[in-house]
């Protein structure tokens, strides 16, 4: 009986250690995610005050190329340096860049009579999605991680369709793609949060990058839909 009790001690210690690691990754992810909002807001403010948003609106093709090259380039650098303090710096630089790119949409929405209300509504909607997915991820016993491959394929197809629609300019397709984007990235958010909570992701920088991208895309596409259906010119 004593031997059985002693043999369970290493397992208990491992479980306790894994729990500590998971809690630390989750806590650091939430803190860094909150911190990443600051450079995002600053980037948006710089884009609006410098007139960069107007340049991007006038040259959608060029701005899309800059966005794709800059975003994927910075994400690559973040992942390469995720085990060092430079990874945090690069992540914050990435969120600043994403704020700059966001200024194009914000400039358009703020030109509407109820632009400020739409932005706050999109922010509240994104927060509601985050709260819902975080609750589901932390309470359900169902494993959603098997969806990751299918969602990744969906994101690739979504990017291709969005780039094509820059030249096609089909309003119905824009609405459809935004709705699909909200659904895909909401599901991705659930998967990413569950991976962090269950210990599938042990690096908080990578975890923050994944969750940030999910929330960013949900916010952008929700704001686009609100601008289309709820925008006022008065």
What is the total count of domains within the chain? 1
Q: What is the pLDDT of residue 157?
A: 93
Q: Is 203 helix (H, G, I), strand (E, B) or coil?
A: coil
**What pLDDT was estimated at residue 5?**
55
Residues of the chain with pLDDT under 50: none
Pairwise CA distance, residues 153 & 173, whole Å: 19
Q: Find tokens 């998971």 and name the residue.
A: 22
pLDDT of res. 214: 96
What pLDDT is attached to residue 82? 94
CA torsion 229-172-70-192 (nearest 10°) is 80
pLDDT at 127: 95
Res 200: pLDDT:
82
State pTM to two decimals. Answer: 0.89
Identify the domain containing residue 148 by its residue range: 2-230
């Amino acid at each position: 009986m004593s031997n059985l009790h002693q043999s369970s001690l290493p397992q208990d210690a491992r479980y306790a250690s894994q729990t500590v690691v998971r809690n630390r990754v989750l806590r650091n992810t939430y803190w860094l995610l909150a911190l990443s909002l600051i450079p995002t807001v600053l980037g948006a403010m710089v884009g609006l005050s410098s007139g960069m948003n107007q340049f991007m609106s006038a040259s959608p093709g060029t701005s899309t190329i800059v966005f794709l090259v800059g975003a994927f380039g910075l994400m690559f650098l973040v992942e390469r340096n995720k085990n060092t303090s430079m990874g945090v710096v690069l992540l914050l630089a990435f969120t600043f860049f994403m704020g700059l790119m966001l200024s194009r949409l914000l400039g358009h929405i703020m030109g509407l009579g109820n632009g400020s209300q739409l932005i706050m509504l999109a922010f509240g909607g994104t927060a509601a999605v985050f709260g819902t997915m975080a609750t589901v991820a932390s309470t359900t016993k169902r494993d959603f991680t098997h969806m990751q491959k299918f969602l990744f394929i969906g994101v690739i197809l979504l990017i291709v369709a969005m780039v094509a629609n820059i030249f096609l300019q089909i309003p119905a397709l824009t609405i459809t793609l935004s709705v699909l984007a909200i659904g895909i990235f909401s599901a991705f958010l659930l998967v990413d949060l569950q991976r962090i909570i269950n210990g599938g992701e042990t690096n908080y920088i990578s975890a923050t990058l994944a969750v940030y991208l999910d929330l960013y895309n949900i916010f952008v596409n929700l704001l686009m839909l609100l601008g289309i259906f709820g925008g006022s010119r008065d």
